[in-house]
Amino acid sequence: MPKRSVLAGLAYAAVAATDLALTASHSPTKRRFRLVTKPLLMPTLGTAFMTRLTEHGVHGGGLLRGGTVAAQAMSGVGDMALLSKSDPAFLAGVGAFAGAHVAYTTAFVSAGRQLSDPSESAGAIGATAAFATLGPLMGLAAERTSPGLGVPVFAYSGLLMSMFAASTRLRQDIPRSARRKLFIGTSLFVASDTILATRKFLLHDSSPEGEAALMATYMLGQGLIASGVAEAVIALDAASA
């Protein structure tokens, strides 16, 4: 019989696939079912994450585990806020996901290299360059589209790229496969938010296809982050035993 963590992971994959199919649909009736599927994404992913750690006898995990759990919870709040297309709901979603990025950044920094270590700095340099380019652009576009959103969107861009940068500077004693999952996962999260901002502020696109691209990168990114953190926590716990 499959392990509970495998079943929990399959449950997340099933919910994600269903939500993606509903997102891509042109039927308003079918899309309304996302009021059920989208809020289930983070609870099912969080269950898979915690079940995997429990099966490996991990009951600690420090900030790496705790920050990830907090980020998943805040992401769930953001998912529900963004079910509405209003500006107040969008701002609430930005706030929730900003909190998620702070939590992820805290988690990654807790298992990161020393600041004095200059190795593996390409990701941080790339994140800084991306923020310097895209942050002002998206902030200005947001302000033109909806006055009052410019500063929050600019600040959010900084938190997003900080999260990505932190994920590229994990310690060497974390398995390479876990570090690779986290790099790809956070890259997809950046891609998802870039799609969202481009659609909303530059293209003014509300097509189901664009929304599906956004959700596909988001759900896969979150899944890879959860898997990478779980692998890292299990490895670090075993090494300290």
Overall average pLDDT of the 29-35 stretch: 96
Range of the domain at 90: 4-240
The pLDDT of 200-209, averaged and rounded, is: 94
200: DSSP letter: I
Give the confidence band of 3 by pLDDT, cuts at 50, 70, 90: confident
* Amino acid symbol at 190: V
Share of the chain above pLDDT 70, in %: 98
Residue 188 identity (one-letter amino acid): L
Task: Give 63's pLDDT tier (boundaries 50, 70, 90).
Answer: very high
Please report which confidence band the pLDDT of residue 60 belongs to, taking 50, 70 and 90 as the band edges.
confident
Number of domains in the chain: 1
Give CA–CA dist 224/70, Å, rounded. 16
Cα–Cα distance, 188 to 186 (Å, whole number): 5
What number is the average pLDDT over the span 85-101?
94
Is it the case that residue 82 has pLDDT exceeding 70?
Answer: yes
pLDDT at 85: 87
- Each residue's pLDDT tens digit, 114-167: 876 777 788 888 888 989 988 999 999 999 998 999 999 999 999 999 999 999
What are the Cα distances from residue 36, in Å, to 31, 79, 123?
A: 10, 11, 37
* Cα–Cα dist 47/52, whole Å: 8
Which percentage of the chain shows pLDDT scores above 90?
84
Residue 115 confidence (pLDDT):
74
pTM of the model: 0.95
pLDDT (average), residues 194-198: 95
Across all residues in the chain, what is the average pLDDT? Answer: 94
SS3 226: helix
Q: Which residues contact 133 (CB under 8 A, 6 or more apart)?
A: none
pLDDT recorded at residue 114:
81
Split at pLDDT 50, 70, 90, the class of 48 is very high
Who has greater pLDDT, 45 or 117? 45
Write out the two tokens for 120: 């593996």
